[in-house]
Every structure is written in structure tokens, then in C-alpha cells.
Chains A and B, each alone.
Chain A
Amino acid sequence: MKGVLESLIRGLGNGSVYALLALGFVIIYKATRVISFAQPAFMIAGAVAVSYLAGTVGFYPAVLLATLLVAGLALGIERVAIRPMVGRPVFVVAIITLGVDVVVRVVVNGFIGLDVRQVGDPWGLRPVEFAGLAVQQRWVAMFLTTAVLVALLFAFFRYTRYGLAMRAAAFDQETALAQGVSVGTVFALSWGLAGGLAAIAGTFVGTGQGVDQLTWIIALKALPAIIVGGLDSLGGAVIGGLVVGVVESLVQSYQGDLAPWLGQNFAIVTPYAVMLLVLLVRPYGLFGTPEVERV
């Protein structure tokens, strides 16, 4: 039982990172109907920025600065590369985000260099005793930070003018435009938010183990998370991320004993297996809006 709980907490920690990334995907999707493949680049840019800043200003201010920096970068990219494509097929825009991802990662790789860069976090690999369980501090930090951020984000959407504008634009762009909502600002805000969230996720990925040129691949696990949760559901993104993290962690720990016939490293494909299972039962994800088409 102790093992299960420890495994569960590890899964919730890693799942929190997937959830932050998934939120970015969903925020952009809701605003623009485009899946942005630039999230991995923003994630790694955030982690690398923290690794450079933490030495001079300390870890927490570095996280704040890096989040603002990457959010600004995302805003700029949206203005330069995405905004001119408004009205074009979403497929074209999605391909442009792929290009953005590659360009940003190539630049960031120059800053990473060949070695692993440490983000200078205060947790390292130290465990904390918690009801008899040995739990790494960074997992607790990841989970709590994500919980706070998600609460803030939901409050933002619920209670602020811009949050309302974003919800309106997501619901129906043309009507929102007719009501005086600046859809352009909504686009920009969604990219900025997604960039900032990715930067925080990247920093957490780097805790305890650092970042290198291959770390960006982790961001791809947010894709099954958003499909599981439902492409247009913010709550779904959070649940999807946590589900992927927890299932992955439990499979890592117990599949070898319970189902050895699945091979040694089935955990790598579990996010995708979960995604397929959910799609079979609920084609729009757990919390996604079913699409109604009249023929």
C-alpha cells in the first residue's frame, strides 16, 4: 500500500507538469481553434531562462522573470507569425506552430550547450516524510503550484473582463466581435498564458535532474492528456494531465509484476493507450463538447 501511495504521489507530481502544458494547449485551442505545437519550445525556453537567471536573482524571482519572458516571447510570436494567418485554414496555422517550435528550440539549444543545465531549485532530490511515506519535495511543490495556478486561472476566466472576453470569443468569435470583444487581444492573451504556463512546467521538469537538448520531448505527453480530457475543456486538461501522470507512474511500478507479458517498458506508451481507450468510449474526451453537425 505504501508503494502504491508513493507511486501515486510521483504520478500526481509529474501529472501536474503535463496538466500545465495541457492547459496551454487547450487555452490556445479554445481561443483560436488551433493546436499549437510550439508548447515544447516554450517549455524548454522557460527552463533554460530559469537556469541562467537563478544564479543571479535566486530561484523564485527567476521563475517569475522566466515566466514573463516566455509569455512575452509567445505574445511576440503570435503577433508576428500567427495573427497574419487569421482566417486561413487552421491546419496551415498548426503547421506554422510546428515551424515556430523548431526555430525556438534551435535557438534555445544554443543556450543549453552540450551539458545538462541545472535550474537551481531548492528541492533537489530530497524526500519529505509524509504520513510514513518518503515523497520527493519537488513532487509536492509541483502539485501544490499547479493547484494554485489552476485556481487562479479559473478565477481569471470566471471573474475578470478579459476572462469573460476569452470565454465569449471561444464560444462564438463572430458574435463576440459584434459585441465589441477584441478577438485579437484574446488571441494574444491565450498565447501569452500558454507560454507562461509552459515556462513554469519546464522549470518543474528541470527540478532534480536538469534540462538538456532532449528534454522537450516530455511536452509531447500533454497531447494524450488533452485528448483524454477533451480538447476544449480546461478542467479536462487538468484531469487529463493528472490521469496520464498517475497511470504512467503506476504502470512503471507494477506492470512488471502484474503483466510482464506487455514487455519491459510499457509505461512509455501508456499515455497513448489511455488516450485510445478514452476515445473508444468518449470520442470527444472525458469533458469535451460533443460536436453536432447537421447534414
Chain B
Amino acid sequence: MSKRRLVTVVSVMSLVALLSSCGVIRGDDEEGQKGTVTTGVTNDPCPIPVDKNKGCIYLGTISDLTSGPFAALAVPITQAQKAFWNRVNRAGGIGGKYEVDVQAYVRDNKYNPETHNQVYQEIKNNVLGLTQTLGSPTTAAIIADLKANNVVAAPASWTSAWEFEDVIVETGSNYCVESMNAVDYAVETYQPKTVMAVHYAGDYGADAAAGAKIAAEKNGLKFTAVETPSGATEQGRAITEITKNKPDLVILTTGPADAAAVIGQSAAAGFKGRFIGTGPTWNPALLQSPAAEAILALYEQSSPGKPWGADTPGHKAMREALGDVTPSDGYTSGWAWAYPLKAALEKMVAGGDISRKGLLAAVKSLTTVDYEGMLPPEAGNFSGDPNAATFRQTLINKPDKAAPTGVTIVRDFFTGSTAQSYTMDGPCFDKL
């Protein structure tokens, strides 16, 4: 190729890339919103309306849709929320006046905070709020902007920092409380003397490790924390620490593949203690991995909500709405996360102040949310001080090959004594 042709090709390619990144060559965005009521709300119907006489509330989605570590959960979360809002629209929409669109502004964050912020800036002037902002570190990258512009967002993460942010409508107990309850459960069931937290850095792993530490201290157990990087081949140190120190209980806060590497290889080296992993450590595919035997023998999962197959009206509605899909608790979490936003939108429309401020005011006035049985109504308390509003009930599941998502409940919603008496006065991960 001659130099001139090469220069031409490169120039054309860079122009295409530029136009595409500016959103010129992309078919999924709305071309401006006519009949605007406020940012992200129009009197015109949604792009795919159920009833053309209703207006449209646009909600954005920023998720890990392709190549990040949580893509296996993020795609079902996003699909479930699409189905959730479709069901809301079919049932008459919000206050009989508006339908909700969650398909026009879906963006991929690749689990990268910079990308997350970049795509948020792309869509923020077109949406009233976010029905999903996936990840703790990624959401931390936009939290200042969310607060400055009163943008209400439903997180797809459970860090304790969200208890202290008005604009974040979280659902279910945070990692910190979840691990406190996990340790309390283990104390009752297995009487451990030593606890080790094997965790990622940051406000996912460190949050859970901090909860485990608080509970271990309260129960008079010896506690150690081992921070581990992501990547199944990078778990050598965590495995060595486990097999060398032989803790009675390991609280795991990693991704599923890394959890399998840690559990499987520790067991292969003769470790016989118990593992309890936080919700995101589980993926039913682990039961097909070489670590399956060890997982069935040694592992339990703490969880902020009931699994896919649970018998509640919410779970049933979700299964019906999603139809014939491979069960995943990504769907379950995604569906449950949408309830508080629905409640707040209904309250906002009923109150008449249809704006970002109106939505935030509606969120702050919520004391309960109807989760259709998926979670207790008090999980949806967003008023009052964080300590009083923090929801403290979690479950314990065990692996079960016969269950749709590979786990069944061994302990239904409970609050351990540590979480009960703990004063939530700041994000837990600062206390590790």
C-alpha cells in the first residue's frame, strides 16, 4: 500500500471513529425529545409505546454489557429491568400518565470508571434518572455529578456507601451487613475460632471484609484479611494463605471464577474449613467447573435476596415476564432493584412535581416499598438517617445442582446480632 493510500485509509477510519463516538452514526438514540416536560420526560409517547396517549419517562442504563468481569450478571440484570418496566407500562404505566422507556439510553461501561463517566455524560441530558448504574467504583466516578444534578439512580451493587447518598436508591442489605450476618450464621452453625476474609480491594471486597472483621471482633474470633487481585491465575497467594493458616471460616468477596479457583485449589491442597461467599461470588456455571466437588462440600453463599425459583408474587411475575430464559440471579437482582424507582416515580407523578428534584423528594419520602414479596417492605426505607434506614436482613444459600440457579435457601431473611447492634455511621470499607 502506498503511503498516500495508507494516509487516506487511516484518515477515513479516524473520521468514522470520531463520528461514531459523537453519536452521529448510531441508530439507538432519540433525535431530540419533543414535547419536553422536564429533562428526560416528554408528553410524546415512548419510542415503543403500549398506549400512545401517555407521555414518556426516559431512564438510562449503564452496565457491564460486553467484556468486564460482571458481564455474565449485567446482561441478565439489564434484560430483567427491560421486562420489569415493560410490565409496568402494560399495567397502565406511572400514575396513568406516563410510560417508562429504558431502551433508548443503554450504555456499556466495560466496568471501567472512566468509560462509565464518559457514557453517563453522553446520556445525562436525555434521562430523568438511571434505572441501573452497575458497579461500586464505576458509580463512584459519577456520584458527584448525580448529586449536583439531583439525578436519582438505582445501583447494581451493594456497597455500604450508598446508605449515605440520597440520590442512590439501593435495594437489599449492603456487603458489610451481609458479611456480618454470614459470620454470625457461621458462629451458630459451625462454631469457628478463626475467620479470614479473602477479598478484592475497594468498596466491594473491602466493604464485606470490614463487615466480617466487625462481626469477628464482636464474637471474639481471630480475624485476618487477605486482599487478592482479580484473575483466576492470580489467586496463588490467597490459596497459600488459606492452606497455611487454616482458618475455620473464609469470607470470600471476589468474582465467581476467582472464587472457584480459591475454593477448588484450597480444597485440593487439603483445606477443610468453610467458605461463605457474598452474592456476586456465585454463578451456576461453577457447578460445571473442576471446583464443583469442593464447592458442594465447603461453600455457602450469603445473599441480599431470594434466588430465581423462590415462591413470591414478585419472583413469579419476573419468571412470567422473562419467559424462556436460562435462569440467572442476575435477572432476580435486576428485577428487585427496579421496585423503589417505580415507587418513587409513582409518588412523583402523584405529587405533581415532575422533575429531577421532584423525583429526589419522592425518594426521600419513601419509608416502605412494595417488593411484591421479594424483599420485606422495610427494605425500601429511604427517609430518615442512614443508621435507622439501613436494611439488615440477608439470607444464606447452599449450592444445589437441582435448583434453577444452582442454590437453595438454607436460612431465610435474618438479622444477626452483630448487624442488629451495629451503628451505621459511615461506609464500612473505611474501617478495614
Per-position 1/0 for A160-201, Cβ under 8 A of B = 000000000000000000000000000000000000000000
- Beta-carbon contact of B290 and A208 below 8 Å: yes
Tell me how far the C-beta of A78 lies from the nearest C-beta in chain B, rounded to whole angstroms: 17
- Beta-carbon contact of A209 and B261 below 8 Å: yes
Nearest B residue to A6 via CB reads B269
Q: Is B240's beta carbon under 8 Å from chain A?
A: yes
- Beta-carbon contact of A136 and B285 below 8 Å: no
- Beta-carbon contact of A249 and B236 below 8 Å: yes
In the bound complex, how far is the Cα of B268 from the Cα of A117, in angstroms?
Answer: 21
Tell me how far the C-beta of A108 lies from the nearest C-beta in chain B, rounded to whole angstroms: 12
Q: Within residues 227 to 274 of chain B, which ones have a CB less than 8 A from any CB in chain A? A: 227-234, 236-237, 240-241, 244, 256-257, 260-261, 264-265, 267-270
Q: Which residues of B contact A248 (CB under 8 A)?
A: 236
Q: Is A258's beta carbon under 8 Å from chain B?
A: no
Stretch binding the partner chain, chosen from B67-75, B389-397, B405-413, B417-425: B67-75
Given A209-B233, A268-B229, A214-B265 contact (CB < 8 Å) = no
Other-chain residue from A121, A213, A265 in contact with B67 (beta carbon distance below 8 A)? A213
- Beta-carbon contact of A115 and B69 below 8 Å: no
Considering residues A115, A126, A134, A248, which has the most beta carbons from chain B within 10 angstroms of its beta carbon? A115
Q: Is B118's beta carbon under 8 Å from chain A?
A: no
Q: Is B289's beta carbon under 8 Å from chain A?
A: yes
Q: Which residues of A contact B50 (CB under 8 A)?
A: none
Given A115-B283, A125-B264, A125-B294, A218-B288 contact (CB < 8 Å) = no
- Beta-carbon contact of B240 and A253 below 8 Å: yes
- Beta-carbon contact of A14 and B233 below 8 Å: yes
Per-position 1/0 for A242-261, Cβ under 8 A of B = 00000011001101100000
- Beta-carbon contact of A265 and B228 below 8 Å: yes
Nearest B residue to A205 via CB reads B233
Nearest B residue to A115 via CB reads B285
Q: Which residues of B contact A84 (CB under 8 A)?
A: 1
Q: Which residues of A contact B261 (CB under 8 A)?
A: 208-209
In the bound complex, how far is the Cα of B237 from the Cα of A248, in angstroms?
Answer: 10
Q: Which residues of A contact B257 (CB under 8 A)?
A: 116, 209-210, 212
Q: Which residues of B contact A255 (CB under 8 A)?
A: 237
In the bound complex, how far is the Cα of B241 from the Cα of A248, in angstroms?
Answer: 15
In the bound complex, how far is the Cα of B60 from the Cα of A62, in angstroms?
Answer: 44
Nearest A residue to B240 via CB reads A253
**Interface size class of chain B, counting residues whose CB lies under 8 Å from the partner chain:** 35 or more
**Interface size class of chain A, counting residues whose CB lies under 8 Å from the partner chain:** 35 or more
Tell me how far the C-beta of B122 lies from the nearest C-beta in chain A, rounded to whole angstroms: 22
- Beta-carbon contact of B237 and A267 below 8 Å: yes
Tell me how far the C-beta of A122 lies from the nearest C-beta in chain B, rounded to whole angstroms: 10
Q: Which residues of B contact A114 (CB under 8 A)?
A: 71-72, 75
Q: Is A10's beta carbon under 8 Å from chain B?
A: yes
Nearest A residue to B291 via CB reads A125
Q: Which residues of B contact A116 (CB under 8 A)?
A: 256-257, 260, 283, 285, 289
In the bound complex, how far is the Cα of B106 from the Cα of A129, in angstroms?
Answer: 53
- Beta-carbon contact of A214 and B231 below 8 Å: yes
Q: Which residues of B contact A136 (CB under 8 A)?
A: 265, 268
- Beta-carbon contact of B227 and A265 below 8 Å: yes
In the bound complex, how far is the Cα of B261 from the Cα of A139, in angstroms?
Answer: 14
- Beta-carbon contact of A218 and B233 below 8 Å: yes
- Beta-carbon contact of B237 and A125 below 8 Å: no
Q: Which residues of B contact A124 (CB under 8 A)?
A: 290
Q: Within residues 85 to 135 of chain A, which ones have a CB less than 8 A from any CB in chain B? A: 109, 114-116, 118, 121, 124-127, 134
- Beta-carbon contact of B237 and A109 below 8 Å: no
In the bound complex, how far is the Cα of B232 from the Cα of A115, in angstroms?
Answer: 14
Tell me how far the C-beta of B259 lies from the nearest C-beta in chain A, rounded to whole angstroms: 11
Q: Is A217's beta carbon under 8 Å from chain B?
A: yes
Q: Is A7's beta carbon under 8 Å from chain B?
A: yes
Q: Which residues of A contact B232 (CB under 8 A)?
A: 209-210, 215
Q: Which residues of A contact B71 (CB under 8 A)?
A: 114, 213
Tell me how far the C-beta of B192 lies from the nearest C-beta in chain A, rounded to whole angstroms: 22
Residues of chain B at the chain A interface (Cβ within 8 Å): 1, 66-67, 69, 71-72, 75, 226-234, 236-237, 240-241, 244, 256-257, 260-261, 264-265, 267-270, 283, 285, 288-291, 294
Residues of chain A at the chain B interface (Cβ within 8 Å): 3, 6-7, 10, 14, 84, 109, 114-116, 118, 121, 124-127, 134, 136, 205, 208-210, 212-215, 217-218, 248-249, 252-253, 255-256, 264-265, 267-268
List 9 A-B residue pairs with CB atoms under 8 Å apart, sorted by A's residue number: A115-B285, A116-B257, A116-B260, A116-B283, A209-B232, A210-B260, A213-B67, A253-B236, A253-B240
